[in-house]
Structure 1
Amino acid sequence: MNPYSRSAQDPVPAAARGAGEPLGPAARWALAGLSLSVLLASLGTSIAHVGLPAMAEAFDASYPAVQWIVLAYLLALTTLIVSAGRLGDLLGRRRLLLGGIVLFTAASLLCAAAPTLGLLIAARAAQGLGAAVMTALAMAFVAGTVPKERTGRAMGLLGATSATGTALGPSLGGLLLSGAGWQAIFLVGVPPGLLALHLVRRHLPADPPRSAAGPARFDTPGTLLLALTLGAYALAVTLGRGGFGPVDAALLSAAAVGAALFVRVEARAVSPLIRPSAFRDPVLGPGLVTSALVSTVMMTTLVVGPFYLARGLGLPGALAGLVLASGPVVAALTGVPAGRLADRFGAHRTTVAGLAAMTTGTVSLAVLPTGLGVFGYVVPLVVVTAGYAVFQTANNTAVMAGVPADRRGVVSAVLNLSRNLGLVTGASVMGAVFALGSASADLTTAAPASVGAGMRITYAVAAGLTVLALAVAAGSAGPARRLVRRLVRRSPASPARRT
């Protein structure tokens, strides 16, 4: 049996699945610990950008050199997240999550105390590894922590927390930078890290005993190949900053070769990191594709927004920042209600509804005239962001539902990986589309009309991506239903089976 298939057996204890039962104190505190873990990981992604100029001055370094403070974290998070999820499945998710929180917190202290740029970059890489563990395993705990009927709400809470961390990073970093120096940007993660460590250690259930047959072997060749492949791809789309040169072409070629070798190695491995057959799963495969597409679209708002508001509409920096904050705030506020919708109406319907909202918003941004001003940008942006929150919550719920307990870590990691790859791809590809559509080599000096034209072209491309995601999600409903019917027929409790 394919270990990624939707299982007819629910590994959650019956006592934890009562319909409508309120969460007990232990489950609430456990969710608080998981939410803090997600918050710290997302905060680490966005908080350091604002401090790069100050760190360049402190270490007397060039801007390309201090960019590695951000890149080291991103590369560690992207390349190691799947390995972290699989290790959690093999060694125990609670044990590994505690180690990830300890590593993240200790690395935060080391970042603040780093005497050289090289040590700071190394500490950021360690922090990224801790974030990979926390991100990979947080969703994997939901099925064993909350009743099945509340899965959507729990996923919504984690999604809202992630959005809050991403939104809070730049503003919190700027505040700390002006008041206490760049070291405070890293020290701010220490107290919540210690609190998350206490909550996880106290309230998450202990790891189940290992199988008498012994643990499955860790796929070292597949892990190394995947890490190198993802690292080459992430460098190709981040170092070029929207451009494309010989180095980028070489890195992309290496990533393509690495991907082909990875598929071949995994097909022959006794205990593969990711089974190639997993991507044919009628729920997991479409869920990963749509997650990557939608994340690419969401990065468009961060790529286009600052330039359009500043150059296209002429807003001052403070007002532009306030407008841009409306999107993440909406995502944070929509997460939990989106989870309730997924619990009530089903994950697939809610996924399609979220994608339909995103399509409506991106099409509006592509066709509405710039004469509508801030109002004409903010309203569609709110629709896009709310749709994204609904989609992400429902899609995460659908993908994680029915995953066997011994594969939850790796499936959660692969799902988060698809999101991260979409984000890094969007930063490069959509940035290039924006520059091309604006017909300007330097967007900081482009004319307002050129920036407006680039904005509309970029969101037209984004609308095409959301339509594609909508088609993939809508087309996955039939295969998923057929698989469920097959599982029911094969179940020993099925009337058809008994006859």
Structure 2
Amino acid sequence: MAVATQGRDGLTSAPQEKEAVGWALASLSLATLLSSLGTSIASVGLPSLMQTFGASFQAVQWVVLAYLLAITTLIVSAGRLADMFGRRPLLLGGIALFTSASALCGLAPTLWLLIATRAVQGLGAALMMALTLAFVAETVSKERTGSAMGLLGAMSAIGTTLGPSLGGLLIAGLGWRAIFLVNVPLGLLTFALAWRGLPASNKNAQTAQGGFDAIGTVLLALTLAAYALAMTLGRGNFGALKIGLLVATGIGVVLFVVTQSRVKTPLIQLASFRDPRLSASLAMSLIVATVMMATLVVAPFYLSRGLGLDAAMVGLVLSTGPLVSTLSALLAGRLSDRFGANRMMVAGLTSLAAGTFLLSLAMTKLGIASYVVPITVTCFGYALFQTSNNAAVMTGVGAGERGVMSGLLNLSRNLGLITGASLMGAIFAVASAGAQNVLGSASAARGMQVTFETATALALVALLLALFSPRFAGRARPRNS
């Protein structure tokens, strides 16, 4: 029914309001797709880059690492800048930067220039990732926030799923440069939709007046970079370099906390973490991402060695998880809106724990079903949790902190993925080495069991946080509204 509602610029009819929200969600969905596609599409091009530039794998892997490091180290700062100077210009700038850097990546004459432009592309992606969630809270009513978060989750899963297959087709037909140049028309379309659909976003006067915390930004970026490098370099080898980076991370955390407690306008309001709901939400996001990374790191070995599938069939079976996540995210948004975000977080984590437990059984006698059924349960739980958790955090935070909180949510997820890639890979390697035949099905099954037993334990920890954090919320100072 068309009823008159007061819009930002005066009296606006309900159909016009709905159309405006539709345009905004279209631009935010494409921005989410672009940032996730930028992560997944580059990996398939590494062999071609090794051949083109005559470089080692250790050198070309920086094409992927530079992008991920830029996002991880800068995403919180990107959110704070948006809170200070307005989210619309920052998001438009992020889309433009990502698109321009994509063109430069496709034209790069040398490997080191490609790596440098990938880092710039990652900066644009950090702005897009930090601001899409913040814009949802600004443009969509609380009653529809879950559905909007589900849509963005589905687009992220589509980008992750589409990347390898699209990249393979582009490389086969047009060469490696096409995997970066394809982002240019998509980026231009996203920019046009964002220009048309995103509402004017006023900067927060109080945040902007206090200035930007440059010291905190540098400290956080260096600390996150040290941790990310510790987790990505020399996986499975706990050597002097990794120890040094972890020590540097610990020192950086201490220095960052000290500076944030002393500056007038900190990058992150440490007092916000007194709210058990927020602290638990970020911790759960990190834990769940760590758990989900096991499916990407361990599953290919189980399917190829444990079940004896060929490469084509492994790829087909692995697509089950992203497909389930994509479809489930849309349903998860509606469930979150109808039954409440907190209830759906608990339901999602319960499903996640059940799925990882089934995966830990590694019943090779059941064939492909031993993976497909548990991963369906796991990915449904993941989509339900992720959508509900994002909705709960972004609807409960004040307008002046939506950018930085969106950045923190994405940061916790990225840190979980980085941690999971290293931790779960190491657990699988150690468990598999304990079997008599390291390359045999028994070895892969044993590694699968131990890895997902660990994943189940972590999922149960997240479930306990979801169950008990609301009970302590009343004792903490409520968040801004």
Which bin holds the TM-score, normalised by the shorter protein? over 0.9
- Are 2:352 and 1:358 equivalent residues in the alignment? yes
What secondary structure sits across from 2:414 in the alignment?
helix
Out of 324, 333, 340, the position equivalent to 1:330 is 324
The reply on whether 1:469 has 2:431 as its aligned counterpart is no
| Secondary structure in 2 matching 1:166 | helix
Q: CA 1:442 to 1:178, structure 2 compared with 1: closer, same or farther past 3 Å?
A: farther
Aligned with 1:292: secondary structure? helix
CA distance in 1, matches of 2:39, 2:149: 20
Is this contact kept in 1: 2:226–2:249, CA < 8 A?
A: yes
Deviation at 1:282, TM superposition (A): 2.2
CA contact (8 A) 1:435 1:441 kept: no
Deviates more, 1:213-222 or 1:90-99: 213-222
Q: Do structure 1's residue 111 and structure 2's residue 105 form an aligned pair?
A: yes
How far off its partner does 1:213 sit?
Answer: 9.5
TM-score after normalising by structure 1: 0.91
Tell me the amino acid that sits aligned with residue 346 of structure 1. Answer: G
CA contact (8 A) 2:397 2:479 kept: no
- Report Cα offsets for 1:243-274 as digits up to 9, x if no partner: 21110000010001000110011011100001
1:33 correspondence with 2:33: no
Q: 1:258 aligns with which of 252, 257, 266?
A: 252
Counterpart of 1:268 in 2: which secondary structure? coil
Please, which of 294, 305, 310 is the counterpart of residue 311 of structure 1? Answer: 305
5 Å-filtered alignment, 1:93-104, equals 93-104=87-98
Aligned-partner residue type, residue 115 of structure 1: P
Q: Could you tell me which residue of structure 2 aligns to residue 452 of structure 1?
A: 445
| Superposed displacement of residue 36, structure 1 | 0.6
Q: 1:179: which partner in 2?
A: 173
Number of residue pairs aligned between Structure 1 and Structure 2: 474
Whole-Å separation in 1 of the counterparts to 2:119 and 2:460: 36
After superposition, the C-alpha distances for 1:14-70 in whole angstroms (9 at most, x for unaligned) are 999x9x999611111110100111111111111111110101111111111101101
Partner of 2:127: 133
Q: Residue 286 of structure 1 corresponds to which residue in structure 2?
A: 280
Matches within 5 A, 1:367-382: 367-382=361-376
What is the DSSP-based 3-state SS (H/G/I as helix, E as strand, rest coil) of the residue aligned with 1:208? coil
Q: Gaps spanning 5+ residues in structure 1: where?
A: 1-11, 489-499
In structure 1, the partner of 2:419 is 425
Choose the corresponding residue for 2:218, options 198, 221, 224: 224
* Partner Cα distance (1:131, 1:302) in 2: 22
Cα-Cα RMSD: 2.3
Give the SS at the match of 1:269: coil
1:342 pairs with 2:336: yes
Distance 1:377 1:321 in 2: 13
- Classify 1:452/1:441 alpha carbon distance in 2 versus 1 (closer, same or farther; 3 Å): closer
- Alpha-carbon distance in 1 for matches of 2:408, 2:18: 30
For residues 148-297 of structure 1, the aligned pairs below 5 Å read 148-208=142-202, 211=205, 215-297=209-291
**Cα-to-partner distance string for 1:447-492 (whole Å, 9 max, x where unaligned):** 111011000110000000000000011111213356699999xxxx
**Partner Cα distance (1:341, 1:486) in 2:** 25
The Cα of 1:377 is off from its aligned counterpart by 1.0
Aligned-residue offset at 1:420: 0.1
CA distance in 1, matches of 2:285, 2:296: 17
Q: 1:211: how far off?
A: 3.0
CA distance in structure 1 between the partners assigned to 2:135 and 2:206 by the alignment: 23
Long gaps (5+) in structure 2: 1-5
Change beyond 3 A, Cα 1:326–1:442: farther
Equivalents in 2 of 1:159, 1:174: separation in Å?
24
**1:291-326 Cα distance to aligned partner (Å, 9 max, x none):** 000000000000011111111111011111011001
Which of the numbers 428, 436, 459 marks the counterpart of 1:434? 428
Which whole-Å CA distance do the structure 2 matches of 1:214 and 1:229 have between them? 25
Q: 1:213 to 1:150 in 2, by over 3 A?
A: closer
* DSSP 3-state at the match of 1:215: helix
Q: What secondary structure, in the 3-state scheme, does the structure 2 residue paired with 1:476 have?
A: helix
CA distance in 2, matches of 1:357, 1:120: 41
- Match of residue 409, structure 2, among 400, 411, 415: 415
Paired amino acid for 1:470: L
How big is the shift at 1:402? Answer: 2.5
Percent identity over paired residues: 58
In structure 2, what is the Cα distance between the partners aligned to 1:442 and 1:188?
47
Could you tell me how far 1:216 is from its partner in structure 2?
2.5
SS of residue matched to 2:356: helix
Partner Cα distance (1:312, 1:46) in 2: 26
| Residue identity matched to 2:125 | A
Change (3 A) 1:325 1:449: same
Cα distance change of structure 1 residues 231 and 191 upon mapping to structure 2, 3 Å threshold:
same
The CA distance in 2 between the partners of 1:215 and 1:487, in whole Å, is 18
Contact 1:156/1:337 (<8 A) preserved: yes
SS state at 1:314 partner = coil
Judging changes above 3 Å, is the alpha-carbon distance between structure 1 residues 446 and 408 closer, same or farther for their aligned structure 2 residues? same
Deviates more, 1:277-286 or 1:201-210: 201-210
Structure 1: distance between partners of 2:317 and 2:259:
48
SS of the counterpart of 2:451? helix
Corresponding residue of 1:299: 293
Q: 1:382 to 1:144 in 2, by over 3 A?
A: same
- Residue 405 of structure 2 aligns to which amino acid in structure 1? V
Question: What aligned pairs does 1:6-155 form with structure 2 within 5 A after superposition?
Answer: 24-155=18-149
Instruction: Summarize the Cα distance change of 1:446–1:83 in structure 2 as closer, same or farther, 3 Å threshold.
Output: same
Within 1, Cα distance between the matches of 2:332 and 2:474?
23
Contact in 2 for aligned 1:338/1:389 (Cα 8 Å): yes
